[in-house]
């Protein structure tokens, strides 16, 4: 364990009819031959992977080494694409998997069965830091100087933080009026150039790809396959905190579908390496106002089909969105996306993990968020879609009350204080906890508390 062999990694096109391969020293975000997504592949024979997952736990005693402290790089043999001298870390991945029986009760699960993975505890307050640690390492390896992303908020906050720690220039594209204030404040504070485009996230995503192509900037959206390698580690840490056991279900919010794509890849590789015996099932949860994945998978029956995805189903669906001038809308602004760039990789995850997809309303998201705040450490709206989705899947009987479920709470509660304050102060939901107005008078105040 420990010998890094970066020559063991290469990039490969996900389209089986193309399957073009490229070395990791190249920077591109789509296959130059056919335009499909790219993956990172490994020649596992050339990598000294530990014989069992628990061997990774031994690194903790050596945590004065920043790579052993990092919740990403202490699993470095499983994302073995660059030498240690390029690896970037700012202490990401010190996250908690909390067993939470009170939230379990809300979703009708048995005590001891529900776990919440708090990715909001990362340095920039969201799961994105896992992916940025990996992608910035690649950026350093290829000598990139300027980076860019389109974002619903968290990607921009995370990229800006890593960029200034790497002394790189960063530019973020955000949709007009679509970004939660906590996230916008971070991008500005971490000194990113922030460009607010008159449009939504999907418009920003389109523009940023053209800008990258013209100006040769380093793209940090989840189209970047190195980012997804970092996001695999969220699954390793869930397994670690379950005593190196695999849960029955992983539940994750679905936006641009980078996380779900990375998680499926993580489990498929662990199984291939013999490090786990079975792959958990996965539920991916959309908001009803941004439910492309749900529509395509559940209603239009779009599937991975060994990589031969029926493109006409996607094209027809997107043409209809355009004809209707559709723009997605949900209070969970992080996942307000209607053309998810990792759609095909996510279909692969659904295949690998026998996955299911559901959409939940904003009301359900806000109520679930209040419950996570009341009984747990809190989260931002998109993260709470997991608990709202679990409630659906329990009432449908898809998930049993005694199965072991891990929900990925992707972002910190302070990311979007407006949604929280409106919910409580304006008494918008079942669990609102508004402030009580009191006169400036001692006896009256005491009466209220009694």
Among the listed ranges 104-112, 236-244, 312-320, 377-385, the one in contact with ligand F0G (CB under 6 A) is 377-385
Among the listed ranges 77-85, 252-260, 348-356, 425-433, the one in contact with ligand F0G (CB under 6 A) is 252-260
Of 123, 125, 254, 389, the one binding ligand F0G (CB under 6 A) is: 254
Kind and range of the H or E element at 115? strand 114-118
* 147, β-bridge pairs: 170, 218
Q: Say if residues 397 and 403 touch (Cβ distance below 8 Å).
A: no
Footprint (CB under 6 A) of ligand F0G, residues 397-436? 410-411
CA 206: distance to chain centroid? 20
Find the shortest distance in angstroms from Cβ 193 to ligand F0G.
16
Of 15, 100, 126, 349, the one binding ligand F0G (CB under 6 A) is: 126
Taking the least distance from each CB to ligand F0G, the nearer of 275 and 356 is 356
* 117, β-bridge pairs: 97, 408
Question: Contact between 225 and ligand F0G (CB under 6 A)?
Answer: no
Question: Contact between 117 and ligand F0G (CB under 6 A)?
Answer: no
Please tell me the distance from the alpha carbon of residue 384 to that of residue 367, in angstroms, as a whole number. 9
Binding mask 168-207 for ligand F0G (x = CB under 6 A): ----------------------------------------
Of 36, 171, 259, 349, the one binding ligand F0G (CB under 6 A) is: 259
Question: Contact between 152 and ligand F0G (CB under 6 A)?
Answer: yes
Footprint (CB under 6 A) of ligand F0G, residues 317-356? 334-335
Strand order, beta sheet including 193-197: 193-197, 169-175, 146-151, 218-219
Find the shortest distance in angstroms from Cβ 253 to ligand F0G.
4
Q: Which of 208, 200, 355 is nearest to 289 (CA)?
A: 200
C-alpha to C-alpha distances, 439 to 331, 427, 435, nearest whole angstrom = 34, 21, 13
Question: Contact between 292 and ligand F0G (CB under 6 A)?
Answer: no
Instruction: Please identify the residue of the shown chain whose CB is closest to the bound ligand F0G.
Output: 255
Please tell me the distance from the alpha carbon of residue 427 to that of residue 440, in angstroms, as a whole number. 23
Taking the least distance from each CB to ligand F0G, the nearer of 39 and 380 is 380
Place of tokens 């699960």: 109
# residues contacting ligand F0G (CB under 6 A): 21
Q: For 227-251, give one letter per residue: b (16+ CB within 10 A) or e.
A: bbbbbbbbbbbbbbbeebebbebbb
Question: Contact between 258 and ligand F0G (CB under 6 A)?
Answer: yes
Of 202, 229, 367, 380, the one binding ligand F0G (CB under 6 A) is: 380
Question: Contact between 155 and ligand F0G (CB under 6 A)?
Answer: yes
Q: Say if residues 130 and 122 touch (Cβ distance below 8 Å).
A: yes
Among the listed ranges 151-159, 212-220, 390-398, 429-437, the one in contact with ligand F0G (CB under 6 A) is 151-159
Q: How many other CB atoms sit within 10 Å of the CB of residue 422?
A: 15
Please tell me the distance from the alpha carbon of residue 430 to that of residue 424, in angstroms, as a whole number. 10
Taking the least distance from each CB to ligand F0G, the nearer of 139 and 187 is 187
Taking the least distance from each CB to ligand F0G, the nearer of 155 and 171 is 155
Please tell me the distance from the alpha carbon of residue 75 to that of residue 236, in angstroms, as a whole number. 8
Find the shortest distance in angstroms from Cβ 115 to ligand F0G.
17
Taking the least distance from each CB to ligand F0G, the nearer of 77 and 416 is 416
Q: Which of 409, 429, 406, 410 is nearest to 419 (CA)?
A: 429
Of 192, 257, 266, 368, the one binding ligand F0G (CB under 6 A) is: 257
Determine the angle formed by the axes of helices 181-189 and 417-425, rounding to 10 degrees: 150
Among the listed ranges 35-43, 348-356, 375-383, 421-429, the one in contact with ligand F0G (CB under 6 A) is 375-383
Question: Contact between 383 and ligand F0G (CB under 6 A)?
Answer: yes
C-alpha to C-alpha distances, 102 to 155, 249, 373, 386, nearest whole angstrom = 31, 19, 11, 15
Taking the least distance from each CB to ligand F0G, the nearer of 10 and 170 is 170
Q: Say if residues 303 and 309 touch (Cβ distance below 8 Å).
A: yes
C-alpha gyration radius of the chain: 21
- What tokens does 138 get? 């690649």
Among the listed ranges 109-117, 235-243, 300-308, 376-384, the one in contact with ligand F0G (CB under 6 A) is 376-384
| Interface positions with ligand F0G (CB under 6 A) | 126, 151-155, 222, 253-259, 334-335, 380, 382-383, 410-411
């Amino acid at each position: 364990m420990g010998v890094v062999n970066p020559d063991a990694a290469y990039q490969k096109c996900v389209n089986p009819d193309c399957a073009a391969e490229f070395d990791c020293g190249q920077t591109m975000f789509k296959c130059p031959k056919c335009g499909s997504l790219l993956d990172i592949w490994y020649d596992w024979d050339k990598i000294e992977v530990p014989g069992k997952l628990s061997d990774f736990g031994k690194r903790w005693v050596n945590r004065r080494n920043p790579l052993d402290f990092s919740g990403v790089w202490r699993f470095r043999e499983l994302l073995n694409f660059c030498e240690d001298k390029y690896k970037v870390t700012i202490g990401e991945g010190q996250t908690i998997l909390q067993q939470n029986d009170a939230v379990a009760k809300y979703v009708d699960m048995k005590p001891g069965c529900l776990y919440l993975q708090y990715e909001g505890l990362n340095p920039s307050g969201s799961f994105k830091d896992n992916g940025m640690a990996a992608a910035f390492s690649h950026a350093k390896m290829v000598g990139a100087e300027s980076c860019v992303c389109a974002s619903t908020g968290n990607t921009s906050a995370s990229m800006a933080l890593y960029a200034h720690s790497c002394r790189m220039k960063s530019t973020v594209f955000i949709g007009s009026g679509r970004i939660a204030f906590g996230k916008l404040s971070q991008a500005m504070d971490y000194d990113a150039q922030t460009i607010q485009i008159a449009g939504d996230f999907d418009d920003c995503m389109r523009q940023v790809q053209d800008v990258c192509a013209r100006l040769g900037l380093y793209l940090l959206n989840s189209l970047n396959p190195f980012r997804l390698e970092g996001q695999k580690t969220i699954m390793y840490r869930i397994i670690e905190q379950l005593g190196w056991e695999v849960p029955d279900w992983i539940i994750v919010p679905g936006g641009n579908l980078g996380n779900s794509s990375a998680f499926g890849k993580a489990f498929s590789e662990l199984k291939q390496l013999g490090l786990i015996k079975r792959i958990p099932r996965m539920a991916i949860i959309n908001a009803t106002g941004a439910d492309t994945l749900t529509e395509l998978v559940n209603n239009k029956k779009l599937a991975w089909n060994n990589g031969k995805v029926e493109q006409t189903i996607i094209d027809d669906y997107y043409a209809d969105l355009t004809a209707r001038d559709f723009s997605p809308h949900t209070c969970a602004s992080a996942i307000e996306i209607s053309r998810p760039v990792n759609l095909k990789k996510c279909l692969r995850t659904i295949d690998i993990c026998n996955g299911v997809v559901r959409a939940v309303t904003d009301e359900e998201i806000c109520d679930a968020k209040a419950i996570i705040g009341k009984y747990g450490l809190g989260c931002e709206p998109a993260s709470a879609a997991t608990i709202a989705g679990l409630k659906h899947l329990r009432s449908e009987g898809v998930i049993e009350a005694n199965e072991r479920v891990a929900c990925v709470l992707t972002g910190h509660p302070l990311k979007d204080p407006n949604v929280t304050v409106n919910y409580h102060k304006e008494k918008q939901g079942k669990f609102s906890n508004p402030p009580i107005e009191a006169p400036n008078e001692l006896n009256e105040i005491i009466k209220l508390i009694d």
